[in-house]
Chain A
Amino acid sequence: MSLIDGIGPEAAPRARPAVASVKDLRVHFRSKVGVVHAVDGVSFDIGDGETLGLVGETGCGKSVTARSFLDLVPMPPGIKAGGAIEFRPHHTCPSCDGAGCETCDDSGRQAEPCDSCNGGGCEGCGHTGQRTIDLLEISEKDLQTIRGNRIAMIFQDPGKALNPALPIGEQVAEVFFQHRADDLLADAGASDGTEALGGALIQRKAGLKTSRIEDFLLSLPPLRGQRTKLMAAVQTRVAEALAETQIPNPRKVMDRYPHELSGGMRQRVMIAQAIACDPDLLIADEPTTALDVTVQARILELIRDLQQRHRTSVLYISHDLSLVKEVCDRVAVMYAGRIVESAATSSIFTDPHHPYTQGLLAAIPSANHERGRLVAIPGNVPELIDPPAACRFAGRCPYEAPACTAHDPLATTITANHEVACFIHHAPAGDEERPTWDRKVR
C-alpha cells in the first residue's frame, strides 16, 4: 500500500497533530454475571490523512471502540468507565476555500485553532494550538454538530442503516439540511434574505426546522419560487455526492428506495452520505463484510480513492487482516479489549511481534500451507468479566511465561512506530532461533 507522502509512519515525525487521539478508553458492560470489560484501556492516534486499521476477532471490542466516537454505544448496559477520545475538528481552509493549497497541505482543510490560546498552544489543547474536543464529555447537542459533519460512519449492513421508507435522495439530502444549510441557501441565492418573512422561512426550511404550516406557506406562490430553488440546490448537491461514489445515473438512483438497490449500491449510498460534508474522520465498521468479493474490491478501491483525494482520515474496522492490508497505512490489532500490537501495515505483515498477531496471520489459509496444517490458535477468547491483571492472551499463548499470568503487559515501543504489549523479547527478524507458531504448535 502506498503511503501518503510525508504522513506515512516511516517518514519524518508527523508534522501535524493527530485528528483524533484515543486515550486509555474504557467501555464496560453490565451483565447478569458481572461487569464485562469490553474495551479496557485502549489508546491510539489517528494521524491527519491517515488510514488506521483496527483488527481483531469477534468480541475483541473493536466495534465498541469505534462506536464510542459518536456515542453510539447503548448506555446502559454500557458504562463509560474512563479515558478520553480527543478530536481536533477542521474547517475549510480559508486561503484556498477547499481547493487545496500550500498552507493546508493540499487537503483543503485546516485545523480549527484552540479556543483558549487561539493557536498559540496551551495546556488545554496539549500544546498543539488546535481546538480539542473530548468526544466522551461533550453534550448530545454538540455531538450532533460533529456527527455526520466532522466525523462520519459507515456500517457493515447498509440495508439496516438506511431508512427503508425514504427514497435515497431524501436520505442523503438530510445530511446537507442538517449541516450545510448556509451553503444551500447560498446556492439557492436566498442567503441575503430578500423578503423578511420568506427569508426567515426558507432559512428554517434549509435547516429542516419548518413545521407543517410553514411548509404549507412555502408551497404558496410568493415563496414557492425560493423553495423550488432551494430544493434544486439540494438535489444538485445530492447528485454530486452520489456521483462521487461512482454511482451511475445518480439522478435516477435518488428516486429509488433502498430495497431496490443491490448491496454494493447501498454501501455506496452510505459512503456518499458519509462523505457529503467532507468529514475529517471517516469510521468504517466492517463496510464490506456483507458484500461479495468482486463488489468488496470496488468498495475498497472507492474508499481508498476518496481518502486520497479528500485527505480524510479513516478508521477502518475489520476482522479480516487481508483487507486491512489493502487499505490501511497503519494497523492496530485488538484482542480481548486491548490493543496488543500496532505498527505500519508493512511491518505488521512482515514482522509481527505479538504471538496473537502471529497466530492470526498464520491462520489465514493460503497455498503455502499444507492442507490440514493451518495454524489454529487453541482455546477460546477469555470472558472479560473482571479480568485479572495479567496478559489477556495467557492461556492460549505458546510462549507463555510465569510473568504473563502475574503482570499486565503494557504497550512498549519496539522500533519506531511499532508498539507491542508482550513480555517476550523477540529477537530481530531473520534470527533463526526466533520461535514461530508453526514450530511451537506442531
Chain B
Amino acid sequence: MVDVPAGPAPARITDSAWRVRTRRGGELLMSLLKNPTTVAGLVFIVLLLGMAIFAPLIAEPNTPDAYQMPRDWGALAVPPGSPGHILGTTNVGGDVLYGVVWGARTSLRLSVIVVSLTVLIGVTVGSIAGFRGGKVDEILMRIVDVFLSIPELIFALAIAAVLGPSFRNIILALAVVFWVKYARIMRAQIIHVKENEYVDAARVIGDSPLRIYLKDILPNSITPVVVQATLDMGNIVLVGATLSFIGLSEAGIAEWGVLVSEGQSGISAGRWWSSTFPGMMVFLWALGFNLFGDGLRDVLDPKTESTR
C-alpha cells in the first residue's frame, strides 16, 4: 500500500489530550487578544468584576445589610471631592462611591443569576424541542413564540409590576423573559447539527442518545449560546437598571438604576454627580460585555476555525 505521510505539524509522540486541548485554548485566547476592541471590552470587564469582588475592601460597609446604601444625613447632596465622599452624595445622603462599587456587586449578582437561570432553561427547552422534534417541538415552540411576541422590556416590566417592587422580583422577571432567546438559538442549532453524519456515525457505533447529545450535539451547538450569554451579561444589567430606575426595586439599595433615579431630580439643579457616575457604570458594563461578546463570536465562528 502506498502510504500517506504525516500532516503539516511535526509528529509529537509525547502529546496528550490534555496538552492538545490547553494548547487549543491558548490559541483561542491569543486570537481573542489580537482584536483591540475585544481587549478593551475585556479590560472593562476585569475592572468592573474586580470592583464587584473587592467591594468590601474599596468601600467598607457600615450597615448590617451591605447592599443597603449607608445614609450620611449630615452631608446631603455634597459635590464630588468632599471629604469622606470622593464622588459626592445623593439628595438623601447616600455615598455615590459606595453605590457605584456595591452596585457592581449587585449587577454581578443580577447578571450571573439571570444568565445562568435563562441559559439553563433555554438550553433545556431548546434541546428537547430540537432533539425530539415532532409534537413536542411544535408545542414548545408555540410557547416560545408567545413569549417572543411581547417586547422584552415591557414584558419584564409587567411581570415585575405584578410581583411587586423588589430586586428579587426583577431577577425573576428577567429570568422569565430572557430564556426564550436561548431556546430559539439552541433549537435551531440542534436541528442543524443533528443532521451531521457524525451523529449518524455515533448511532451506528451504538452510543446512547444521551451520550450522543452530550458528546456530539451539545458541544457543536453551544457556541452561539455562549456568545449570546456574554452579550446578555451586559444587556441584563441594562434592563435591570431600567426597571430599578422606574422604581421596581426597593428604594435605598446599592443599585445603579436606583442611584440614577435618586439623582435625576437634582440634575436640573446642577447636581449631576449622583446620576452620572452610576449611569456611566451601566454604560461601561454593557459596553464591556458587548465588545467582548462580539470578539468571542468572531473567534468561535466555526468557519474561521476550520480554514486554519
Chain A contacts to B: CB under 8 angstroms: 32, 376-380, 383, 441
Q: Looking across the interface, which residue of chain B has its beta carbon closest to that of A33?
A: B308
Q: Looking across the interface, which residue of chain A has its beta carbon closest to that of B5?
A: A379
Complex-state Cα separation, A336 to B207, whole angstroms: 42
CB pair A379–B4 under 8 Å, yes or no, is yes
Complex-state Cα separation, A377 to B2, whole angstroms: 8
Complex-state Cα separation, A379 to B4, whole angstroms: 5
Contacts of B8 on A, CB cut-off 8 Å?
383
> Which residue of A379, A383, A441 has the most chain B CB atoms within 10 A of its CB atom?
A379
Chain B contacts to A: CB under 8 angstroms: 2-5, 8, 308
CB pair A380–B2 under 8 Å, yes or no, is no
Q: Is the interface of B mostly helix, strand, loop or mixed?
A: loop
CB pair A376–B5 under 8 Å, yes or no, is no
CB pair B5–A441 under 8 Å, yes or no, is no
Complex-state Cα separation, A330 to B3, whole angstroms: 33
Complex-state Cα separation, A378 to B308, whole angstroms: 24
Complex-state Cα separation, A378 to B2, whole angstroms: 6
> Which residue of A32, A378, A383, A441 has the most chain B CB atoms within 10 A of its CB atom?
A378
Complex-state Cα separation, A295 to B119, whole angstroms: 50
Complex-state Cα separation, A102 to B8, whole angstroms: 59
Q: Looking across the interface, which residue of chain B has its beta carbon closest to that of A32?
A: B308
CB pair A441–B4 under 8 Å, yes or no, is no
Nearest CB of B to A34, in Å: 13
Q: Looking across the interface, which residue of chain A has its beta carbon closest to that of B7?
A: A380
Complex-state Cα separation, A32 to B5, whole angstroms: 24
13 residue pairs of the A-B complex, CB under 8 angstroms, read A32-B308, A376-B2, A377-B2, A378-B2, A378-B3, A378-B4, A378-B5, A379-B4, A379-B5, A380-B4, A380-B5, A383-B8, A441-B2
Complex-state Cα separation, A383 to B5, whole angstroms: 14
Complex-state Cα separation, A383 to B8, whole angstroms: 9
> Which residue of B2, B3, B308 has the most chain A CB atoms within 10 A of its CB atom?
B2
Contacts of A441 on B, CB cut-off 8 Å?
2
Complex-state Cα separation, A380 to B308, whole angstroms: 17
Contacts of A379 on B, CB cut-off 8 Å?
4-5
Complex-state Cα separation, A376 to B1, whole angstroms: 9
List 4 extra interface pairs beyond A378-B4, A379-B4, CB under 8 A.
Answer: A32-B308, A378-B2, A380-B4, A441-B2
Complex-state Cα separation, A243 to B3, whole angstroms: 51
Contacts of B2 on A, CB cut-off 8 Å?
376-378, 441
Complex-state Cα separation, A378 to B8, whole angstroms: 15
The list of the 10 closest CB pairs from A to B, nearest first, reads: A376-B2, A378-B2, A379-B5, A441-B2, A378-B3, A379-B4, A380-B4, A380-B5, A378-B4, A383-B8
> Which residue of A377, A380, A441 has the most chain B CB atoms within 10 A of its CB atom?
A380
Contacts of B4 on A, CB cut-off 8 Å?
378-380
Contacts of B308 on A, CB cut-off 8 Å?
32
Nearest CB of A to B149, in Å: 28
Contacts of A376 on B, CB cut-off 8 Å?
2
Complex-state Cα separation, A441 to B2, whole angstroms: 8
Nearest CB of B to A382, in Å: 11
Q: Looking across the interface, which residue of chain A has its beta carbon closest to that of B3?
A: A378
Q: Looking across the interface, which residue of chain B has its beta carbon closest to that of A377?
A: B2
Contacts of A380 on B, CB cut-off 8 Å?
4-5
Complex-state Cα separation, A378 to B4, whole angstroms: 6
Contacts of A32 on B, CB cut-off 8 Å?
308
Q: Looking across the interface, which residue of chain B has its beta carbon closest to that of A395?
A: B5
Contacts of A377 on B, CB cut-off 8 Å?
2
Q: Looking across the interface, which residue of chain A has its beta carbon closest to that of B308?
A: A32
Complex-state Cα separation, A378 to B3, whole angstroms: 6
Complex-state Cα separation, A64 to B52, whole angstroms: 55
Complex-state Cα separation, A61 to B133, whole angstroms: 44
Nearest CB of A to B93, in Å: 58
Nearest CB of A to B53, in Å: 37
Nearest CB of A to B5, in Å: 6
Contacts of A383 on B, CB cut-off 8 Å?
8
Complex-state Cα separation, A380 to B3, whole angstroms: 10
Complex-state Cα separation, A383 to B308, whole angstroms: 13
Nearest CB of A to B4, in Å: 7
Contacts of A378 on B, CB cut-off 8 Å?
2-5
Complex-state Cα separation, A242 to B31, whole angstroms: 52
Complex-state Cα separation, A379 to B5, whole angstroms: 6
Complex-state Cα separation, A383 to B4, whole angstroms: 15
Complex-state Cα separation, A133 to B164, whole angstroms: 78
Complex-state Cα separation, A383 to B9, whole angstroms: 13
Nearest CB of A to B9, in Å: 12
Q: Looking across the interface, which residue of chain A has its beta carbon closest to that of B8?
A: A383
Nearest CB of A to B248, in Å: 47
Nearest CB of B to A136, in Å: 27
Q: Looking across the interface, which residue of chain B has its beta carbon closest to that of A441?
A: B2
Q: Looking across the interface, which residue of chain B has its beta carbon closest to that of A376?
A: B2
Complex-state Cα separation, A380 to B2, whole angstroms: 12
Complex-state Cα separation, A383 to B7, whole angstroms: 11
Nearest CB of B to A57, in Å: 15
Nearest CB of A to B104, in Å: 39
Contacts of B3 on A, CB cut-off 8 Å?
378
Complex-state Cα separation, A376 to B8, whole angstroms: 20
Complex-state Cα separation, A379 to B2, whole angstroms: 8
Complex-state Cα separation, A34 to B36, whole angstroms: 23
Complex-state Cα separation, A22 to B3, whole angstroms: 37
Complex-state Cα separation, A32 to B307, whole angstroms: 10
Nearest CB of B to A396, in Å: 10
Complex-state Cα separation, A376 to B4, whole angstroms: 10
Nearest CB of B to A159, in Å: 19
Q: Looking across the interface, which residue of chain B has its beta carbon closest to that of A372?
A: B1
Complex-state Cα separation, A379 to B7, whole angstroms: 10
Nearest CB of B to A22, in Å: 28
Complex-state Cα separation, A66 to B244, whole angstroms: 63
Complex-state Cα separation, A17 to B158, whole angstroms: 80
Nearest CB of B to A386, in Å: 15
Complex-state Cα separation, A377 to B3, whole angstroms: 9
Nearest CB of B to A20, in Å: 32
Complex-state Cα separation, A441 to B3, whole angstroms: 11
Complex-state Cα separation, A32 to B27, whole angstroms: 14
Complex-state Cα separation, A52 to B147, whole angstroms: 61
